[in-house]
Amino acid sequence: MSPRNIPPLTYKVVAECSVSKARAGLMTLRHSEVNTPVFMPVGTQGTLKGILPDQLIELNCQILLGNTYHLGLRPGIETLRLAGGLHKFMGWPRAILTDSGGFQMVSLLQLAEINEKGVNFRSPFDNSECMLTPEHSIQIQNAIGADIMMQLDDVVKTTTTGPRVEEAMERTIRWVDRCIEAHARDDDQSLFPIVQGGLDVPLRQRCVSALMERQVRGFAVGGLSGGESKHDFWRMVDVCTDHLPRDKPRYLMGVGFAADLVVCVALGIDMFDCVFPTRTARFGCALVDSGQLNLKQPKYKLDLEPIDKQCECSTCKRYTRSYLHHIATNESVSCSLLSIHNVAYQLRLMRSMREAIQRDEFPKFVIDFMARHFGKDPIPTWIQEALKAVNIELPPAEEKQEKETIKQEKHEQAIEVS
């Protein structure tokens, strides 16, 4: 069958957790297959800071993210078209997802004015004005050639209340129709609408229902992870996955902390992105199951262990914590070495979740992960409540402490015997 007769995105659920809403899937795109749940590293300007495309392939990264607003400004549509799209321009053979530029309505609010036509931005580079409409966003994304594109949505700060939230949700629905109408490459690229509605359950439900009436191949959940309480955050995710269709991928925008990823996979999310892994690397921090190692701290000066003995990334194979402490934030190569490890950590975490789902052992994975992640610290109430909502019960604090005590006693007994 000719590729042109095959949709540019197909999605198949390959395994489901028998307890929670977690599922493992296979998404087939024009440039690569993507196993879900998946974390997508962010290459805003068409590059991940500190990592080459060949290094991402070595890590088996299947899909990354670019930003429409920034790529539309630099290098611009003309250059992208001349280069044959972003894949060729940046030398990346696998899948790409592009954000629409809507998030910049919040992050660059002082430079933006929003109305029904679109968003009028003032360039942070040369102060020139640029009107980003739904049509122009799609025009840029068609030039980029991303496998998955986002609609331009009306984004408000997550803590916003009142009529502005409903206005933004209704406008997002109107704008998706303009995006669909403007989309000129539906044979090659798939357009996702974005669920908005703030922290209002009825608005989220209304938005999901309206977007499901459109002929699309997947859905994004937006307007979260921007300062709202974690209790509100997980409930909005839960509401959205309860109502979104089972047979299409679900993408939660801007989420990347390890505990959040585990909880949201349990709640039924398939795709994630965040700048966190590479951004924290630039501050000398390495990701591990227990959280972060701040390698700038003096305690790592004489530590000749790798960041993580279980990690198979090139950084952990070749360099010690002591060496990384020596160069952290002082040498530009430290950003590269730590970014490689941090992206490898995120991808390995997602792979571990996929495998646990396929073995139907996901609840056990979650319990074990949370024990490693929080150690002797109490697990936040929001995590306990979110997991309980999908039938995963974490051990009570007393039981957790008792297990730690038994484990320590067995360790001491083993030492005595030896």
Ligand-binding site membership of 102 (annotated):
yes
Which letter does DSSP use for residue 161 in this model? -
Phi and psi dihedrals of 366, rounded to 5?
-60, -45
Ligand-binding site membership of 196 (annotated):
yes
Ligand-binding site membership of 45 (annotated):
no
The neighbour count for residue 38, using CB atoms within 10 Å, is: 25
Ligand-binding site membership of 316 (annotated):
yes
Distance of CA 297 to CAs 284, 334, 377, Å? 9, 15, 21
d(CA 289, CA 163): 41
Query: In sequence order, which residues have a C-beta less than 8 Å from that of residue 186 and are 6 or more positions away?
Result: 8
Buried/exposed code over 260-286 (b: 16+ C-beta within 10 A; e: otherwise): bbbbbbbbbbbbbbbbbbbbbbbebbb
Ligand-binding site membership of 232 (annotated):
no
For 352, the 3-state DSSP assignment is helix
Ligand-binding site membership of 335 (annotated):
no
What is the secondary structure of 99-126 as a DSSP string? E-STTHHHHTGGGEEE-SS-EEEE-TTT
d(CA 176, CA 191): 9
Ligand-binding site membership of 153 (annotated):
yes
Ligand-binding site membership of 223 (annotated):
yes
Helix axes 381-389, 258-266, angle to 10 degrees: 20
Active site residues: 99, 273
Ligand-binding site membership of 247 (annotated):
no
CA angle 209, 133, 205 (to 5 degrees): 15
What is the residue type of 413? Q
d(CA 109, CA 106): 5
Ligand-binding site membership of 99 (annotated):
yes
Evaluate whether 250 touches 268 at the Cβ level (below 8 Å). yes
For 321, the 3-state DSSP assignment is helix
d(CA 272, CA 306): 27
Ligand-binding site membership of 311 (annotated):
yes
Task: Answer positive or negative: Cα dihedral of 326, 331, 337, 338.
Answer: positive
User: Which residues define the annotated binding site for Zn(2+)?
Assistant: 311, 313, 316, 341
User: Which residues define the annotated binding site for substrate?
Assistant: 99-103, 153, 196, 223
User: Which residues define the annotated binding site?
Assistant: 99-103, 153, 196, 223, 311, 313, 316, 341
